[in-house]
Chain A
Amino acid sequence: MRALFAASLALATAVALAFLLLPVAAIFLRVPPGDLVGGLGNHVTRDALLVSLKTSAIAHGIVLLVATPAAYVLARRRFRGRGVILTLVELPLVLPPAVAGIALLAAFGRAGLLGDGLDALGIQIPFTQAAVVLAVAFVESPFYFRGAIAAFEAVDGTLLDAARTLGAAPARVFARVALPLAAGGLGAASALALARGLGEFGATIIFAGSLQGVTQTLPLAVYAQFEQDFDTALAISALFIVVGAVLLIALKLYPWFRFASIFRSRVAPST
């Protein structure tokens, strides 16, 4: 009985691992590495890479800049309606990306909620790079928000109180104490959000379209290429796997780096 249980555990683990790793391995086994690199030289890929890098960087920058202080407020303050806000913030997490795209169109599209106002200002968002930025920011921000709120909640409030009794105004308390102490969690949340943003597909294709060199990001290029030029699609996919793996490894190594830095300061000679 016991052996049977142990065997079924081992089998389940093996099946799960094989199922998750086989498709990933297949990408690298299907095409020789040289061809993979060659596929990246293709002009469609280059354009998509540039669009992805640019839109992701801008979207991620905006998310970090806005969501970090907002997460600090939501983590440290207790007020009525806080629970509702925390739930609403996570809503994009459970929405299908296509729904997010429709929602963005409904808000910023020509016939949308803000359409007339934006029109009057001469601004048109859908099917521009700005639309890609909005779609990426919309989809990735809850990932960052969740992690950032948890990171700020984990900071011992007494330390913030101590900083204030030492004469630090709230802005200095945030910059010198809360931010550095939450840095680990913020970094992890940021990496996760970045990865999600780079992979964004559904909201972008609906809200921004797939125009090569303008709104066609890497995931959209994979979709556009897989029927015409499967090798290019494979090459881009391989790139994603490498970038994703690097982000994950960086996340796992981060605590170790922190530990190493503590260790270094311990053995440093006191002069």
Chain B
Amino acid sequence: MVPLRIDLSLPRRSFDLELRLEVGAETLALVGPSGSGKTSLLRAVAGLARPSRGSVVCGEDAWFDSARRVDRRPEERSVGYVFQEYALFPHLTVAQNVTFGGGRVDGLLHRLRIEHLERAKPGELSGGERQRVAIARALARRPRVLLLDEPMAALDPHTRGTVRAELHDLLRELALPALLVTHDFEDAAALADRVGVLADGRLRQLGTAADLLGAPADPFVARLAGANVLPGVAARAPNGLTAVLLDAGPTVYAADVASGRTEVVVYPWDVSLAREAPDDSALNHIHDEIVSLTPLGNRARVRLRTLTAEVTMPSAERLQLRPGEAVVASFKATQVRLLGSG
């Protein structure tokens, strides 16, 4: 028996969200750009929005079934909902927030390390503390399904890493069907067992984060996963590889087989930068110019004219990378995926 089965159609302003999903005792993340209907989906599962047709079934209980005219009220469903920005009651203390729905909470406050904040009001808490209170509140009634809407979005970048690791451990420990929506592929990959990509109201691809990174179904998924997606024309090369003449100019070699129009997918962290073309096993060397350089913690995102590379901060400093300068971007033919190559 599947803990949570969703099969519904949700009317949105410019399109209908059509979705079929089965969530086991796992964390499933849906990633999509804002406006892709992620929040509406969670609201529909919670009973706060009404789908135009379909069903939401938890175990053997139908929460919503348009065919049988079933539509249980939100308070009669059993969901723990962690809202975007957390939606804590500002006039109640942490303890009152967590016990709002009833249930015993001593263990929860301890598990989430918010015991000492029991009497504080939400306005006095940091982002990470607020998130933990919201999770404790959602779990206090022992819900059968956990819904998380952008749980990381309200956090500052430097606490994000630790908070993400803690949330990951907690979700594992709960072993509850959890549906998480986010616009950030990295958050989804770090928190979820399976990741689905949502665009224009459809589920484009569903699999583990490794599946999506290794074999993105289309350019949209690849871009969302953070890849460079470079269109070009593929042809068989004499050396047994596939040569893709990029629309942007350079030729890229790939181990994948394809012919005709295709998209080259290469991840920024697979691209290395050098001042001069190195004599190594990498077949692809693109002479390019630095457009911009953005530090991201201990890494730096270097945008070139053709593609983007990600190198460590120490390497960026050692090479003294500056916008406007010439560099060579290198990557191996085995690190290149060709879309549509099967």
Interface residues of A (CB under 8 A from B): 156, 158-159, 161-169, 176-177, 180-181, 262, 265-266, 268, 270
When the two chains form their complex, are residues B102 and A162 in contact, meaning their CB atoms are under 8 A apart?
no
Known: A265-B124, A266-B124. 9 other contacts (CB 8 A): A156-B87, A159-B87, A161-B83, A162-B81, A162-B87, A164-B73, A165-B47, A165-B74, A165-B81
Interface majority SS (helix, strand, loop, mixed), chain A: helix
Q: Are the C-beta atoms of B93 and A167 separated by less than 8 Å?
A: no
**For chain B, what secondary structure do more than half of its interface residues adopt (helix, strand, loop), or is it mixed?**
loop
Residues in A with CB closer than 8 Å to B100 are 163, 166, 168, 176
Q: Give the residue of B73, B83, B120, B141 whose beta carbon is less than 8 angstroms from that of A158.
A: B83
Nearest A residue to B117 by beta-carbon distance?
A: A270
Nearest opposing residue in chain A for B115, CB measure: A270
CB pair B91–A181 under 8 Å, yes or no, is yes
Which A residues lie within 8 Å of B90 (CB)?
A: 159, 181
Q: Is B89 an interface residue (CB 8 A)?
A: yes
A53 CB to nearest B CB, Å: 32
Asked whether A265 lies within 8 Å of B93 as measured between CB atoms, the reply is yes
Provide the B96-140 mask, 1 if CB < 8 A to any CB of A, else 0: 000011100000000000001111110110000000000001101
Q: Which residues of chain B from 260 to 304 have a CB within 8 Å of any chain A CB?
A: none
Contact between B89 and A159, CB atoms less than 8 A apart: yes
Q: Interface residue tally of chain B, by bracket?
A: 20 to 34
Contact between chains at B91 and A167 (CB < 8 Å): no
Would B120 and A265 count as touching, CB distance under 8 A? Answer: yes
**Contact among B75, B89, B138 for A164, CB-based, below 8 A:** B75
- Asked if A265 contacts B119 (CB within 8 A), the reply is yes
Q: Which residue on chain B has the smallest CB distance to residue A258?
A: B91
Docked Cα-Cα span, A265 to B120, in Å, equals 7
Cβ of B148 < 8 Å from any Cβ of A?
no
Are A168's CB and B119's CB within 8 A? Answer: no
Contact, CB under 8 Å: B141 / A167: yes
Pairwise interchain contact B91-A165, C-beta atoms closer than 8 A: no
